[in-house]
Amino acid sequence: MIPMTLAQIAALTDGRLSDPGAADVLVDGPVVTDSREAGPGSLYVARIGEHADGHRYTPDAVARGAVAALVTAPVEQTPSVLVPDVQEAFAALATAVVQAIPGLLVVGVTGSSGKTSTKDLLAAVLAEHAPTVANVGSLNSEVGVPLTVCRAAPDTAHLVLEMGARGIGHIRYLTDMTHPRVGVVLNVGSAHVGEFGSRAAIAAAKGELVEALPAQGLAVLNADDPLVAAMAARTSARVVRTGRRADDADIRAADVVLDEQGRAAFTLVTPEGSAPVRLAVLGEHMVDNALAVAAVAREAGMAVGPLAAALGRARLASRWRLERHDRADGVVVLNDAYNANPDSLAAALRTLAAMGAGRRTWAVVGEMLELGPDSAAAHRQCGELAATLGVDEVLAVGAGAEPVAEGFGSRARRSVDVDAAYHLLSGELRAGDIVLLKSSRDSGLRHLGDRLVEEEVH
């Protein structure tokens, strides 16, 4: 974090020092909410969660190097800033960090799917241009975003913030905290529709990002998604449209092809010119993410040639997003089971089909959560798509994935849980097979994928 004294932190958070003698204590290490991640110079933020009171772990944070804590109650033998509400104080600290770095370009990224992959690609591309900080994994909430902001240093030029939402007002809270100048909305799908109630409500929540942009800012909108394209009317910022199909897209992908490894190549078309791109990440859907990245990188000052080259070098830093693992026995494991919704599962199935020429393909599918009353139909349609694409084997894991098996047809396989799926696959996989694992995170298939890779069953 930008070095700050405890007195400065107290002033920024409307707090008071536990000990006036601690005013000059310098916080110049990481800001953490998990005591196990504390290090020399750390500030420990003692949050009170559903299952634990962070104040109890302050001694552990201090033992690991933390020099101070942000608290709502006094803690013994630890220089502290006492505040009425730790979360609000944490947000205020993040705002102060953003405002303290001259010329910082803050980019917000949201959407129903692809947020983390796009954030990873964008961070990789922008890092070739200037120092860049981005969320680790999917730390995109009211806690993850300020944690990310507080990793910024005085020389940080680009701050890339994935922003998640589980209700109206969530993204507005994050934008009030971080003041983004560029906002990217990727899509409005059915992820979390069970919580929001409708895709229109999801669009209302995602659009809070572009509503927060200043007039001199930039909204990057997916012109191929009508609900996203309509957000142009909700912002005073300039608008750049990306897309593969929309006639009014400012940044387009032409001549998209997939190689036998499932990697896309295309011509990037911008107002300044065109350049060839060959992505290293898997899936045709990554083209849409790459177009959003190109729009932001262009705003940051990157020319089309270097931008296209950087896209080809970019990799995903976050786990369980179409990770490819080539086992010694010739089996290929595609672990895409960090999250799932009908759109992302469809994209993964198409990637599996593209990579499966001459090989036996497996789609191991767990339940997609939070889809609301249309959940069964959405799962069934994904099974039908797998059959249409010619996927050889579908294994539905758990009762929630049963409609996938129904949609695929009589040849579908079923397992009651992850362990049963592991034992079935251990007896069935053979050299040349390619197996995709896809489910929502809490359905647990990401761990099945890791187990298949680590144990290399036969």
Average pLDDT, integer, range 191-220: 90
Average pLDDT, integer, range 383-410: 97
Quote the CA–CA distance of 89 and 21 in Å, as a whole number: 21
Q: Would you state the pLDDT for residue 26?
A: 97
Tens-digit pLDDT profile for residues 278-311: 999 999 999 999 999 999 999 999 999 999 999 9
> Could you tell me whether strands 238-243 and 218-222 are parallel, antiparallel, or unpaired per DSSP bridges?
parallel
C-beta separation of 220 from 256 below 8 A: no
Q: Would you state the pLDDT for residue 50?
A: 82
The residue type of 297 is A
pLDDT at 48 over 70: yes
Task: Please give the model's pTM, rounded to 2 decimal places.
Answer: 0.92
pLDDT tier, 166 (very low <50, low <70, confident <90, very high otherwise)? confident
pLDDT at 36 over 80: yes
Share of the chain above pLDDT 70, in %: 98
Average pLDDT, integer, range 148-170: 96
Question: Which residues on neighbouring strands pair with residue 186, listed in sequence order?
Answer: none
Share of the chain above pLDDT 90, in %: 86
pLDDT at 393 over 60: yes
pLDDT at 457 over 50: no
Average pLDDT, integer, range 137-159: 96
| DSSP code for 62 | H
Looking at 163-317, which runs of residues are DSSP E strands?
182-185, 218-222, 238-243, 251-258, 263-270, 273-282
Q: Where do we find the tokens 């809070």?
A: 208
Q: Would you state the pLDDT for residue 286?
A: 95
pLDDT tier, 196 (very low <50, low <70, confident <90, very high otherwise)? confident
Q: Would you state the pLDDT for residue 372?
A: 86
